[in-house]
Amino acid sequence: MAKLLAKYKNGNYVVRLFDDGTKIRINNLDNLTPDFAESIDLEITSKCNGNCGYCYMNCTPQGQHANLNDPILDTLHPGTELAINGNDLTHPDLENFLIRMRDKGVIVNMTINQKHLTPNIDKLANWQNQKLLWGIGVSLTDSNDSNLVENIHNLQNVILHVIDGLFTKEDMENLKNKDIKLLMLGYKHVGRGIQYYEENKETIDSNIEYLKENLFKNQKWFKGIGFDNLSLEHLDIKSQVTEADWDLYFMGAEGAYTFFCDLVHKKFAVSSLETTKYDALDSVDEMFHFVRK
């Protein structure tokens, strides 16, 4: 049974967050109006040796690390979730940062590439045991990797990130009935994703059409399937569920409860996909209220 990880009041409602990632917003009104961001997508580094051809953040081995002692981080609220990019886990201050966030009551979830999972499995498990890290998103690159499923089950609260257009029929069949949760992400026509799409357009479009037709039919193969807002659009999920289910499970538009902050370049926006990003303000609340407008 999932355990309560955080409970806090935010504006005119109460948030209950559980250790399996479940979030419940509660009030007796007809609207939910937050005072601060429930979750922040935080870029802490642009350095990565993964060399993914479709990387929309344009990360490279020559990238930069953010200052994880930035005063902006002192303005975070207890209970806030941070979704950080671990990349190749070479940020020298990462563990100290995780300790500071834990002690502040901030909940950190991290995404890493599958390529970096096996070399860092012990480190990740240790961070979870110390309550420094909660959810781990693993970006799929090779569903034939014999270590993938074992690694996932050796950690807690792991969700496999898969991209519509890159996630194939073969991938689905390789991963079925392995007690795995999926998070479906929309293919992003940004950064290196632009050229990669131009070079692989037919394959990507075909994979998206396959998922539209088959993902819901085969959802029983997986422990659960979540979607980011872009994949909801690409896969036309709203047309495949009841209105009641949509109202119950849809967590809100970009910027409604969240925003993106690039701590490397000190910029922020509604989401990481925005072409226009603004110079970072002094606090997370100032930036959130700006994007809410």
Q: Is a pLDDT exceeding 80 seen at residue 248?
A: no
Q: What CATH number does the domain containing 207 carry?
A: 3.20.20
Three-state SS at 118:
helix
Answer yes or no: do 244 and 137 share one domain: yes
Answer yes or no: do 125 and 176 share one domain: yes
Query: What is the extent of the structural domain holding 220?
Result: 36-292
Answer yes or no: do 52 and 139 share one domain: yes
> Rounded CA gap, 291 and 19, in Å?
28
Task: Write the CA distances from 153 to 67, 157, 180, 181, 233, integer angstroms.
Answer: 32, 9, 9, 11, 30
Answer yes or no: do 186 and 151 share one domain: yes
Answer yes or no: do 142 and 213 share one domain: yes
Answer yes or no: do 24 and 61 share one domain: no
pLDDT tens digits along 104-142: 999 999 999 999 999 999 999 999 999 999 999 999 999
DSSP code of 77? P
pLDDT at position 93, please? 97
- Residue given tokens 């975070």 in the structure block: 76
pLDDT at position 241, please? 83
Residues 256, 38 contacting (CB under 8 angstroms)? no
> Rounded CA gap, 112 and 137, in Å?
6
Number of domains in the chain: 2
Residues 261, 268 contacting (CB under 8 angstroms)? yes
Tell how strand 158-163 and strand 181-185 pair up: parallel
Average pLDDT over residues 41-54: 95
Question: What's the whole-model pTM score?
Answer: 0.92
Answer yes or no: do 122 and 202 share one domain: yes
CB atoms within 10 A of CB 69: 11
